[in-house]
Structure formats: structure tokens, C-alpha cells
Structure 1
Amino acid sequence: MFIEIITVLSAAYRFSIITEKNTRLFPNTCRYFPALGQLTSSRRVDTFFQDVSVLLRNTRRVTGFLAAGGVLSHLNPFYQLTKVKENAAIQLSAATSTSFDQINTFAHEYDRGGNLTINGKPSYSVDQAANFILRDHAAWSDRDGNGTINLTYTFLTAKPAGFDNSLGTFSAFNAQQKAQAVLSMQSWADVAKVSFTQAASGGDGHMTFGNYSDGSSGGAAFASLPSGGRTDGQSWYLIDDSYRQNVSPDNGNYGRQTLTHEIGHTLGLSHPGDYNAGNGNPTYKDATYAEDTRGYSVMSYWSESNTDQNFVKGGAPSYSSAPLLDDIAAVQQLYGANLSTRATDTVYGFNSTAGRDFYSATSASSKVVFSVWDGGGKDTLDFSGFTQNQKINLNAASFSDVGGMVGNVSIAKGVVVENAIGGSGNDLLIGNAAANDLKGGAGNDIIYGGGGADSLTGGAGADIFVFGASSDSNRAAQDTIRDFVSGQDKIDVSAISTLSALQFVNAFSGHAGEAILNYNQSSNLGSLAIDFTGQGVGDFLVGTVGQAFAADIIV
């Protein structure tokens, strides 16, 4: 076995391991060569890169033995290191890249439906979950035919006729309960064609709110599905000496989630499984499908931890204050989508313009749990104020890990969010098919624009701009890297082709793997064009603000 330097740059060398026939490559032995630099092999062994120009500056040939710790020690003919002449033609070898692997892994982190089995349960797609939440076929009728379900509501001030005395003592909603109930109703009206008006009666249906004091049934609240009965629209909330969660509902706490959950029932949504709080002692084991958790539905009883999400921050749990991914799909199946909601340019997170408390972050300690529903415009997920490492995915029906939590932000099915801004941690950003504006912020970020003509800004730190297909950036829809810094940032095209090397040329000659780097010093604009197919044209093209060199390209 010998190690040959096949790339010569001003300050660094790249190596490849070439093994003779029937020579076994031992991953545990050959994984790290800290004294040598980044190694690559047909097995794509993870490796470590280090500048070795000092080691080889005055050495034509070095042989050595790789010790257990990866230290070059005494001579051994099995390992041979060769220095190439300084004026040799530049050729980049295929290097081990984990950046695309990280992108690809997170892009599929929350895959669902099909034949997937998770936690020993079938995985449901968004539509399958929505259908199951609507399995009781309960809904209000549009009596006046105006295309919207107009519901009226009353905060009860006295025990109503027919009150079930087993519930204990009646009490009226306090001011905070009333205000928070209005916000919960508003969150449902945002996503579907329903409206809520405070009035004693009227509309396509009527809702009432009240408290009760006897929690012996085991439930903290309950509501009736709309079925044509006298209890339609009623929702009740437990307040007693031992249970006070419903006294002070607020954004992100359990009391606010309870309001949103019960209003969901009054609209016709059931639990995602056949269980109720008063029926024995149900657990996640009773769930019908894997995604029956509070990470996917505000109608669920079960912790998001069952689907490997985590809404705990600072030692305290957070809860959704509004409908989540599957709830939005379900209520829209019933009543239609409200496309007028936030139909202009909207910012979610920091600097929020959404006008909803649950869509706003104000400091690094903010706890955000939400699913974006948006009617149009050019929209932005702004998580710039968070210091934790984040993973942000702009694709519809996807999840993001934001502000130190896991899977706490999602985008509803059918929604297009164009832009994302990372924080000061080492963030991973995934774009969608639209023309995205992705900004990593401070930290060492990995940015993948996907399709569309994207604007990519790494910000401070060593950033990697990843491309998974030549169609991610080409003449028809060219991406632009807005702040490329050579020697610090990288352009990773390793996932596009199985080519083992790029040959940098002045003009294409019809050979696959040829690449052209252009740069205009006066404008500080550059480009990288690659012919991956041997057609004599650049089927991949990305622009840069700042000059990129061959050493900055990962293949």
C-alpha cells in the first residue's frame, strides 16, 4: 500500500490511499492520520485534515509506519508518501465529505408514511393522520352557504340548564382564560375557513366555555364533537385545589394547549387514537400509529419524546399553543384552507411580523413550538437570535430543530417558506425548490439551497455550501454565494457525481469532470462551472462574491 499526494496547493496537500489487489483496508487502523492529512478511499472512511506542508516542504519521498494513535513513526516500506512537483497540474481527488450526508440524513429524519414502521407502529402520512383524526365524521354545517363556518361563542357566567352536577361546582372563566381562549380560537381560524364571534347565539353553531371543580373523572378538560346534540360546542375546564393549570393559560404552557385542544374537539377533531383521559390509564402504547404525539398534533395525549422530539428547554417543558402539522391538515379537510392568512411577506421567529404570540421569539431563551401556516408572499424563518446549533428545513411538511429543542418547528403541508436565517451556532440549512435566501449567520454552517436560484450567505465562520445535483445550480437557475472566503469556506459537489477528480481547465473540451473557475477582481465576482456529463458545457454553475480556488472545492 502506498499513499500518493495527487493535489499540490500553496498550503495544503490531499492524499488518497491506493491499495493493491487483495489488500485489506483496516478502517480502525487507517481512519486517522493526524500527521499526514485528509485521506480518502473507496470505502469513504471518515478522515481528518491537517496542513502537512511543513512535513513535506523539503522532502521528496517519505516512508513510515502508522502507529495505533495515527502518528507517523519509523520507516516501513508498506507506506510511501510522495511529494509532487510544485508546478504540477492541479487535480482534485474525491474527498470524504460528511456535509451532504448530514444534509441528507436530516432531510429524511422525519420521513413518514408508506411502509415505514416506527416504534413498532405503522407510520402515517400527513393525510393518513388527518383522516384518522377525522374518523368520527363530526363537523359543523355551513347553514348560510357563504363558504365559511361562522361560530358564535359565550363565556358562561352561570351554571347552564342541564349542567351535570357530578362535575362539582361551576365557575366562570377569569380574564386571562377569556383572553387566551380568544387567541386559541384565532389560531384555528387562521388555518381554516372558520370564524368566531362573541355573541349569545346565532351563526352556524354556538360554543360555550366554563369551569368545573370535580376532577375525579381523571380529565383536566373535555368538550363535545359537533353531532347535532345539545352539548355541541361545549367545552369545560377543571379548576380545583390540586389542579391549577387551567387558571393561568399562556403562550407555551399546558393551559393554553388545553384550550386549543378542546376547541379542536368542538370543531370536529378527535384524538389521534381511540382513548380518553377518563377511560382507564391510556399510554402511548395505546396509540394506533407512530406519529400520535404532541410533536405532530395538539390533539394527542402523548409526549413528543416518543417521536424523538424534545420541547424541553431550561429544564421546563413547552407546549404548542396552536394547531400543529396534522391538525392543520385535518381541519382544512373539514372546512377548507384559509388562504388569506398572512398572504404577504411574513417573518416567523425573531423580528416576527406574523402577529401571533406563538410565532415570535425575542431572546436566546425563547421557547418556540409551532407549525407555520402561510397564505403567500415571500416568507422567512428568522432564528438569528439563538446561540444553539440549529437544523432548519424549509420544505413543506418538514421539521426543524430550533433554539436548543428538537423537532419543535414544522411547516404545514402546501406551504412555501422562501427564506431562513440561522443563529450564531453551527447551523444546517436546507432550502426547497423555490428561490431561497439562506443566511447561516455566525458559526460554521452547512447550507444546501436545493432547486431554484438561491442566494446563499454563510456569515462569519467556516461555511460549507453543498450541492446535491447539477440542477441545484445551473445556467437556468444559478445560485450565488454572497460572501465566499477562500481557505475558509468550501463548495461541496461530492454528491453530484461519482467522478474521482476534477480537472481544472481554461475551456471545456468534452471530457466529464472538467471545471472552470472564473474571477473578476474589479467586481469581486466569480463562478465555478463543471461539466459532469462530458457534453462540453457546464451543466453545473454557481456564482460567488469572492474568489474560489481549486482547494476550496470538495469533490
Structure 2
Amino acid sequence: MSMPTAYTTTQIISQLTTSWGGSLDGYTFSWPSSLKTISFSINAATPTNVGGVKPAEGGAFLVKMDAIQVATATLAFQLWDDVIGKTLVKSTSPSANITLNYSSNTSGNGTYTQLYGTAINNTTHQLTLGAGQVWLSSSWATNGDRGMMPGGYGLFTMIHEIGHALGLSHPGDYNAGSGAAITYANNALFAQDNRQYTVMSYFGGYLKGVGWQQDGTSANYIYPQTLMVYDIAAIQAKYGADTTTRLTNTVYGFNCSLAATDPEDKIFDFTLNSNPIFTIWDAAGTDTLDGSGYAGDQTINLTPGAYSSVDGMIENVAIAFNCWIEAAVGGKGADTIIGNGVNNIITGGVGADQLDGGNGADLYMIYAAAEHPAGEIIADTGTPGVDEVRFASTKAKETLTLSAGDTGIETVVIGTGTGTTAITSGKTALNINASGVLNGLNIIGNAGTNTLTGTAYADTVTGGAGADLFVFNTLPASPANSDIITDFQPGVDHLQFSKAVFTAFTSTVGKAFSATEFWSGAGVIAGHDTSDRILYNTATGNLYYDADGNGAGSAVLVALVGVTTHPALAATDIQVIA
């Protein structure tokens, strides 16, 4: 049998809000728009049905929940409260809008939710909810503590049933207790009808070392620990989004900034959650998904609605639609990190990573030269925005080397911090070699001694304070590709030319540059004798290389030294390197 077709988000929202089966199939079930707060009770007395009828599951059949079960149910409600515009408030009353209880007399010994309406509109196909009763069988096989933990079937089922109580259906017209076997192969209408995408699905679970399964059951399955992407999309389409959830700068994963004592927060902490399967909803702040503690390869995708593969698992951590996580941190493997449409801060970490911030002004943080080894690629495919590589090593004399595979970058800075502007006051002697990059760059040093090697294209190079070396080891790719050196300090900084490229020099590598090979003055654009090799126009700041002095060949413009004013250069400011 062929796989079902993938549905659009709009189609899936429709499936998750109208697939009730029977005469009410196609109807939407919703709490009144005027009801801003939905109350819920756990383990309270027997609720009363609409019309005053006591449910058969209640009375003497109520079974007291233990503390772990109550805590798990509370967590399940909290997870829903985090994402919807309405507020869920815990009550002790059996008259709460939604009640959750254990019973020894559930129909068919099952677990289910009974919904009661107060009004129905057969024209608009809308049913207004008045009460929701979640009944859990006391002989339920997953009542034990293990089932109540994140990833267990107990927590997952509570999340599922509360979803019904809030007005979400299954993704298709199927329901347990119908007598027929319900399988993905036979009953799934669309490809995403799977627990990877929605807790309202009947199908599959995650098998460690294998991946997501579509059908069958296993004691080793790991189940979603939060709502998943289409649950959040559907419930927010119904009630709006909660715009108050985690408003500060939040770190998810390693170095988690959430409270380690809060049951929900523990789900988002990779040091406490060894099998993470969750979806992030975050309302504001500059937030981070941090996979720095993992040794294996991982994929971190910050795109809203997309899944990341971390902890050796496959597509197990998602970001909700309309949720923007700004930063990602990789681990020790060869990671793939994908940004989104906002300004991202991407740290690949150790390993030959593949990094793409996408749209926005993205910042790539490199904290050691070894974090950008040969084989790592920064390929920013997005527009607009100025994308920057920031070299923040604390180890003196390290060199960050960029290659032809590093594309879409406009700026490279030796600096610290992750703000919009780098902190360049540090004096650690660090170097940049961008000679392999195939586009011009804005290259900026710090206050230390830097060796800055540009590209064959039009670079703007700023050394900063300190005795800097400006290296030319490529000829300009075209006459229009000369560089700009903004802050050259004569007698402090030096211009270094590679003799392997600029072959006409007679000066010896490592020795003082011969004064006979330097010619400067206002209006100089050509050599005045056969020995001239470096020419400097003091009026314009144009710096030329001339292979034959006053011969027939034309001088090549290599740089503009100074922007508004131009320093007085001397032969002693020039060095020849190999």
C-alpha cells in the first residue's frame, strides 16, 4: 500500500478540529469565546453531566490518584496552558469546566474523554462546549511511575485526552473501541497522521536506535513529552496563542536556563531528559537551542514548524509554527545547523559543520580556530542582511582560515560578544586568512596584533589598535577588486606582499624592503624607473603594484590606503613574504 499524501498545515488543522465521526463529523467543538479562563480539576469528586445526570464512571467507582499521577496530570494541563490564548486554572471543584479522574468502571475498561455541549449551530457546524470529562481506567497498563514520566505512555495519554477536552479531534475518523483494528496503513488519511507530528494521533512511537514507527506497539517506545507541531497549530487556530510563555532569553537543551525543579522545565533540559521528544513554544526573548553536549552528528533546524535531530535520534525536537528561536549551538560532531528568517546566532562548535543562517543578518560565532576546520562550510543562502563571522578565540596567535566553501558572508571580525556589534577592544593576537573566499569582505581586527589576509576581491580591512599586518597573497580578481585599508598606521603596521604572487620583487623575503622598489608622491600612477614595484599616490591613497616599473606594463591597483585622509607611507612600511 502506498504512503498517504502529505497534507498542508491548513488541511491538518481542519482534520484535527473536525474529525469527530458520526453525525457530528465536520463540526468544530470549542469553548465559548467569552470564556477567557477554563477551569480544570484533578482527582476531585464525581463531576455532574450537563442536565444533572451523574456519570456511570463516578461515585463508588472513583479511584483516588496517587501523588505522581496527580503531578503528571497537572503537567499535562500546564503544557496545554503554555500555548493557548485562554488560561487554564486549576480548581478543586467537581464542577470545573474540565475534570480528570480515575475510575474502575470506564466503558470497555478504556480511557477516554466525554464532551458535553451547551449549544449547537447546524448551519455553521459549530458546537459550544460546556463540560469535558477525562476518564482514565484505574487498571490502565501505564498507571505505573514509569508511564507517568516524560516519554511514557501515561503522560502522553493525558496530554491526548486533554486535547479532546479542549476541542481537538483525532486526525481521522477513527476511535478506540470500535472493534476494528486501527492502523496507520488502513486509517491514516495523510502522511503526518503520526505521533511525531500530533499527540492526537493513534499511530506509532519512537524506538531508540531505529526511529519513528508508524504502527504497532512496544514497551520500548518513547512518546512525545509535549504537544507537537500540529497540535499547537490547531489549538492556536482555535483559541489564539499564549503570548506570555517564556518572555525572557531562554536556553533550551544544554546550559538550560529554565528551573531544574519544575517538571515542565526538566523536559527542555538535555542534561535531565535523556530521550527528548518535544516541541518548543516560546513567546519572546532571544532564545537558544543548545546541543553542545552531544558528541554525535546532529541537525538543528530553527525554522518554525521544522524538526531537529539531536541526541542520536531522528527528528525528535521541533519548533512550533510562528515561534522564533534566534540561536543554535552545535556539539562535537559534524553538525548541520539551519537558521530561520530572523537574525540568528549560530555556533557550530567542534567538527566539520554545515552552517546556513538563511534570511536575516546572521552571526556565526567561532571560539577557536579548530571550530572551523577544513571541510566545514558556512554557506549563508539568505537575503537580506549582513552576515558576519566573529572569531572570539582566547588562544593567542590562532588563525581563522576561511575557504571557497564559505559563501554568503559579508563581514569577518576578531571580537567577542554576541551583540549586533562585536567587542573589538580585546588584545589577544589573532589572525584571519580569507584568501580562499570568493567575494569581497569587510575584515576587522581587534586591539591586538593581527595578521589580516583578504580575498582576491574588494575587501575593506580595518586593523584596529595594535601592530597589524595586512597581507596581500592574491592579485585582485579584476581592476575593480582593489581593497580599502581604513586605518593603516605608518611605522606600526605593515603591508606584506607574497613574492610567490608578486614575483617581480628583488627584495629578499624576511629582509628589509628595498627603498629603490618604492615610489610615492602626489599623482603617482606609474613607476619612474625600472626598479619601482610598489607605487603610492599620496593625494588619493591609491597603492599599486608595478611588475616592470616604468616599462610598458600597467600598474595594478591593489588598495586604497585611508578613506578621508591618507597616511604617509615609506618603504619601511612594506615587507616581502614567501
The TM-score normalised by the length of structure 1 is 0.62
Residue 464 (structure 1) aligned with residue 376 (structure 2): yes
Q: CA deviation at 1:126?
A: 2.2
Q: Secondary structure at the match of 2:14?
A: helix
Q: Secondary structure at the match of 2:191?
A: coil
Task: Provide the rounded CA distance (Å) in 2 between the counterparts of 1:130 and 1:505.
Answer: 48
Residue 120 (structure 1) aligned with residue 3 (structure 2): yes
Q: CA deviation at 1:214?
A: 5.7
| Residue 191 (structure 1) aligns with | 83
| Residue 381 (structure 1) aligns with | 289
| Residue 114 (structure 1) aligns with | none
- For each residue in 1:50-107, what CA deviation from the matched residue of structure 2 results, as whole angstroms up to 9, or x when unmatched? xxxxxxxxxxxxxxxxxxxxxxxxxxxxxxxxxxxxxxxxxxxxxxxxxxxxxxxxxx
Larger radius of gyration: 2
| Residue 115 (structure 1) aligns with | none
| Residue 22 (structure 1) aligns with | none
| Residue 522 (structure 1) aligns with | 449
Task: Provide the rounded CA distance (Å) in 2 between the counterparts of 1:433 and 1:536.
Answer: 33
| Residue 167 (structure 2) aligns with | 268
Unpaired segments of 5 or more residues in structure 1? 1-117, 497-503, 507-512, 539-548, 551-555
Q: Structure 1 residues 168 and 489, CA, compared in 2 at 3 Å: closer, same or farther?
A: farther
Task: Provide the rounded CA distance (Å) in 2 between the counterparts of 1:514 and 1:442.
Answer: 25
Task: Provide the rounded CA distance (Å) in 2 between the counterparts of 1:448 and 1:180.
Answer: 39
Task: Provide the rounded CA distance (Å) in 1 between the counterparts of 2:13 and 2:481.
Answer: 47
Q: What is the one-letter code of the residue matched to 2:203?
A: W
Q: Secondary structure at the match of 2:231?
A: helix
Decide whether the 8 Å contact of 1:419 with 1:436 is kept in 2.
Answer: yes
Q: What is the one-letter code of the residue matched to 1:382?
A: D
Q: Structure 1 residues 162 and 448, CA, compared in 2 at 3 Å: closer, same or farther?
A: same
| Residue 531 (structure 2) aligns with | none
Q: Secondary structure at the match of 1:480?
A: strand
Q: CA deviation at 1:360?
A: 2.5
Q: What is the one-letter code of the residue matched to 2:323?
A: V
Q: Secondary structure at the match of 1:332?
A: helix
Q: CA deviation at 1:178?
A: 1.1
Q: CA deviation at 1:386?
A: 1.8
Q: CA deviation at 1:358?
A: 5.2
Residue 170 (structure 1) aligned with residue 77 (structure 2): no
Q: Secondary structure at the match of 2:223?
A: coil
Q: Secondary structure at the match of 2:377?
A: strand
| Residue 223 (structure 1) aligns with | 113
Q: Once superposed, what is the RMSD of the aligned Cα atoms? A: 4.1
- For each residue in 1:97-137, what CA deviation from the matched residue of structure 2 results, as whole angstroms up to 9, or x when unmatched? xxxxxxxxxxxxxxxxxxxxx95312112232112101130
Q: Structure 1 residues 209 and 373, CA, compared in 2 at 3 Å: closer, same or farther?
A: same
| Residue 403 (structure 1) aligns with | 311
| Residue 44 (structure 2) aligns with | 156
| Residue 142 (structure 1) aligns with | 33
Decide whether the 8 Å contact of 2:108 with 2:177 is kept in 1.
Answer: yes
Which has the larger displacement, 392-401 or 190-199?
Answer: 190-199
| Residue 16 (structure 1) aligns with | none
Q: Structure 1 residues 153 and 468, CA, compared in 2 at 3 Å: closer, same or farther?
A: same
Task: Provide the rounded CA distance (Å) in 2 between the counterparts of 1:517 and 1:244.
Answer: 61
Q: CA deviation at 1:176?
A: 1.2
Which has the larger displacement, 316-325 or 331-340?
Answer: 316-325
| Residue 132 (structure 1) aligns with | 15
Q: Structure 1 residues 518 and 210, CA, compared in 2 at 3 Å: closer, same or farther?
A: closer
Q: What is the one-letter code of the residue matched to 1:378?
A: T
Task: Provide the rounded CA distance (Å) in 2 between the counterparts of 1:305 and 1:154.
Answer: 29
Task: Provide the rounded CA distance (Å) in 2 between the counterparts of 1:439 and 1:515.
Answer: 23
Task: Provide the rounded CA distance (Å) in 2 between the counterparts of 1:417 and 1:297.
Answer: 21
Q: Structure 1 residues 155 and 527, CA, compared in 2 at 3 Å: closer, same or farther?
A: farther
Q: 2:350 aligns with which of 442, 456, 480?
A: 442
Q: Secondary structure at the match of 1:232?
A: strand
Q: 2:72 aligns with which of 169, 180, 205?
A: 180
Q: 1:333 aligns with which of 237, 240, 245?
A: 237
Decide whether the 8 Å contact of 1:212 with 1:236 is kept in 2.
Answer: yes
Task: Provide the rounded CA distance (Å) in 1 between the counterparts of 2:275 and 2:203.
Answer: 19
Q: Secondary structure at the match of 2:72?
A: helix
Q: CA deviation at 1:429?
A: 0.9
Q: CA deviation at 1:468?
A: 4.9
Task: Provide the rounded CA distance (Å) in 2 between the counterparts of 1:228 and 1:246.
Answer: 37
Decide whether the 8 Å contact of 2:379 with 2:406 is kept in 1.
Answer: yes
Q: Secondary structure at the match of 1:492?
A: coil
Q: 1:310 aligns with which of 187, 191, 211?
A: 211
Residue 252 (structure 1) aligned with residue 151 (structure 2): yes
Task: Provide the rounded CA distance (Å) in 1 between the counterparts of 2:282 and 2:212.
Answer: 23
Residue 344 (structure 1) aligned with residue 344 (structure 2): no
Task: Provide the rounded CA distance (Å) in 1 between the counterparts of 2:454 and 2:117.
Answer: 63
Q: What is the one-letter code of the residue matched to 2:182?
A: P
Q: Secondary structure at the match of 1:121?
A: coil
Q: CA deviation at 1:382?
A: 1.1
Decide whether the 8 Å contact of 1:154 with 1:208 is kept in 2.
Answer: yes
Q: CA deviation at 1:492?
A: 1.2
Decide whether the 8 Å contact of 1:364 with 1:385 is kept in 2.
Answer: no
Residue 492 (structure 1) aligned with residue 405 (structure 2): yes
Q: CA deviation at 1:294?
A: 0.7
> Within 5 A, what are the aligned runs for 1:222-241?
222-225=112-115, 227-228=117-118, 232-240=131-139
Decide whether the 8 Å contact of 2:46 with 2:94 is kept in 1.
Answer: no
Task: Provide the rounded CA distance (Å) in 1 between the counterparts of 2:481 and 2:117.
Answer: 65
Decide whether the 8 Å contact of 2:42 with 2:101 is kept in 1.
Answer: no
Residue 206 (structure 1) aligned with residue 133 (structure 2): no
Task: Provide the rounded CA distance (Å) in 2 between the counterparts of 1:320 and 1:249.
Answer: 12
Task: Provide the rounded CA distance (Å) in 2 between the counterparts of 1:376 and 1:122.
Answer: 34
Q: CA deviation at 1:187?
A: 0.9
Q: CA deviation at 1:316?
A: 3.7
Q: What is the one-letter code of the residue matched to 1:467?
A: A
Q: What is the one-letter code of the residue matched to 2:10?
A: D
Q: CA deviation at 1:157?
A: 4.0
Q: Secondary structure at the match of 1:211?
A: strand
Task: Provide the rounded CA distance (Å) in 2 between the counterparts of 1:250 and 1:505.
Answer: 50
The TM-score normalised by the length of structure 2 is 0.60
Q: CA deviation at 1:350?
A: 1.6
Unpaired segments of 5 or more residues in structure 2? 19-26, 120-128, 214-218, 410-432, 459-476, 483-497, 501-578
| Percent identity for Structure 1 against Structure 2 | 30
Q: CA deviation at 1:494?
A: 7.2
Q: What is the one-letter code of the residue matched to 1:445?
A: D
Q: Structure 1 residues 450 and 248, CA, compared in 2 at 3 Å: closer, same or farther?
A: closer
Q: Relative contact order (C-alpha < 8 Å, sep 6+): which is higher?
A: 1
- For each residue in 1:368-413, what CA deviation from the matched residue of structure 2 results, as whole angstroms up to 9, or x when unmatched? 1111111111000011122221100111111100111111111111
Q: What is the one-letter code of the residue matched to 1:172?
A: K
Q: CA deviation at 1:348?
A: 0.9
Q: Structure 1 residues 523 and 159, CA, compared in 2 at 3 Å: closer, same or farther?
A: same
Q: 1:478 aligns with which of 366, 375, 387?
A: 387
Q: Structure 1 residues 478 and 514, CA, compared in 2 at 3 Å: closer, same or farther?
A: closer
Decide whether the 8 Å contact of 2:142 with 2:148 is kept in 1.
Answer: no
Q: CA deviation at 1:211?
A: 1.3
Task: Provide the rounded CA distance (Å) in 1 between the counterparts of 2:342 and 2:57.
Answer: 57
- For each residue in 1:238-262, what CA deviation from the matched residue of structure 2 results, as whole angstroms up to 9, or x when unmatched? 2328554588512221111111111
